[in-house]
């Protein structure tokens, strides 16, 4: 099957955060939007057809989760990730971010510690701080452009009253796919200190050819406390529909998460979200294979272009995600100056690295989930403006 990822689609005036939110975030609409982590590609036809079929029925009342929805999760992860999930382990959730907040409430009391590993997706921080839990930072260590977990420091964090570790795997924004020996060490520490792990694996399907994602729970032993967040949202470009799933083998932990959601009185039984979720996992595999080839080509192009034309900006190829982590420290700018340079001079809207924690200072996050022509134009603008500044 042929899939078209090169034809641009206008997203203006669709209430898109990425496009229509530029003015509020960047102070101008005159920027090429390469920030919010959704893609500019049309969803797989199987998703569109399923939604259209559901729309033929004119009533959109309260909706149950069908058994076929749960089966789509079981089949997908067995087929794609060799992970055997049992039906009773699955808890449907209104999104990954609400799940972060619920997990903090479920597994850490006020004042108790929650570990996050910056630079990391910023709701990891707010899920802890807005719930009055103690934020324990276990910064990733950068070595020659590749990030690693500081296990000695992680073990030290656990001794500060930590109850929960929020692991991002694959990691956003640095693009690491953690290897088995790294995941095993995380599990060893968690077992020794009775730590619960919330494993955010929403980017599990967006892995490039040189890496293999291993679900953390696939390595688990009886008694391990692991809650895994999964969803087709990033994979198939349907994040606006919100629905996600939690995989929780332990019955007591399932009960705790359900109680947290009930206390928040949040749920998501939107009939269209359910239809899109199931259709994506059931029929979207060929589309995903084509997407990953396209993204890998774009990723390689960006890395090569920077090396050849803008050596001041360093970028290791991410092993996963459609997000690239640009090290701009050699430009010699503060974070405010860096943001203004990209926005005002290059006309590019990227996420400043500082929003992912202090460890992101001097970086910018580039979203390559768009046409190659868009990325090419963005890089040419960046290169030209750096030369004008003689940086």
Reported as a single tens digit per residue, the pLDDT across 323-361 is: 999 999 999 999 999 999 999 999 999 999 999 999 999
Residue-wise pLDDT for 286-318, tens only, equals 999 999 999 999 999 999 999 999 999 999 999
CATH number of 58-283: 3.40.640.10
CA distance 256 to 110: 16
Helix axes 45-55, 271-283, angle to 10 degrees: 150
User: What CA–CA distance (Å, rounded) separates 35 from 155?
Assistant: 34
What six digits make up the tokens of 231?
């969803």
Q: CA separation (Å) from 368 to 178, 291, 351?
A: 22, 12, 12
* Single pTM value for the model: 0.96
CATH level 3 topology of 17-44+285-389: 3.90.1150
Query: Which residue spans of the chain are classified as CATH 3.40.640.10?
Result: 58-283
Residue intervals in the chain for CATH 3.90.1150.10: 17-44+285-389
Tokens, residue 181: 């020996």
- Measure the CA–CA gap between 178 and 200, rounded to whole angstroms: 12
* pLDDT value for 389: 85
């Amino acid at each position: 099957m042929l899939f078209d990822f090169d034809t641009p689609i206008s997203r203006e005036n669709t209430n898109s955060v990425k496009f229509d939110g530029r003015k509020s975030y960047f102070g101008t609409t005159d920027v090429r939007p390469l920030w919010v982590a959704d893609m500019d590609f049309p969803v797989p036809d199987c998703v569109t057809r399923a939604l259209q079929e559901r729309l033929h029925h004119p009533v959109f009342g309260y909706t149950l989760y069908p058994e076929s929805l749960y089966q789509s999760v079981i089949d997908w992860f067995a087929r794609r990730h060799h992970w055997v999930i049992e039906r009773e382990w699955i808890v449907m959730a209104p999104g990954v971010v609400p799940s972060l907040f619920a997990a903090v409430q479920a597994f850490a009391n006020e004042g108790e510690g929650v570990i996050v590993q910056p630079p990391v997706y910023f709701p990891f921080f707010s899920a802890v701080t807005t719930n009055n839990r103690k934020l324990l930072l276990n910064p990733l260590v950068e070595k020659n452009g590749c990030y690693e977990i500081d296990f000695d420091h992680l073990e030290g964090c656990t001794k500060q009253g930590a109850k929960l570790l929020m692991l991002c795997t694959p990691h956003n924004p640095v693009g690491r796919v953690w290897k088995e020996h790294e995941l095993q060490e995380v599990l060893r520490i968690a077992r020794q200190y009775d730590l619960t792990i919330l494993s955010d694996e929403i980017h599990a399907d967006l892995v490039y050819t040189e890496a293999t994602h291993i679900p953390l729970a696939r390595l688990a032993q009886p008694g391990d406390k692991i809650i895994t967040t999964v969803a087709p949202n990033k994979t198939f470009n349907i994040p606006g529909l919100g629905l996600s799933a939690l995989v929780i083998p332990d019955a007591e932990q399932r009960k705790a998460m359900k109680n947290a959601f009930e206390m928040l009185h949040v749920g998501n039984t939107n009939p269209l979200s359910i239809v899109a979720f199931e259709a994506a996992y059931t029929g979207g595999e060929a589309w995903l294979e084509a997407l990953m080839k396209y993204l890998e080509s774009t990723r390689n192009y960006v890395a090569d272009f920077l090396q050849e034309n803008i050596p001041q900006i360093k970028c290791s190829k991410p092993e996963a995600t459609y997000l690239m982590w640009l090290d701009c420290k050699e430009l010699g700018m503060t974070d405010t100056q860096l943001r203004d340079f990209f926005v005002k001079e290059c006309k590019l809207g990227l996420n400043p690295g500082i929003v992912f924690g202090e460890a992101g200072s001097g970086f910018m996050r580039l979203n390559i989930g768009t046409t190659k022509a868009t990325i090419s134009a963005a890089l040419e603008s960046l290169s030209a403006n750096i030369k004008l500044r003689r940086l």
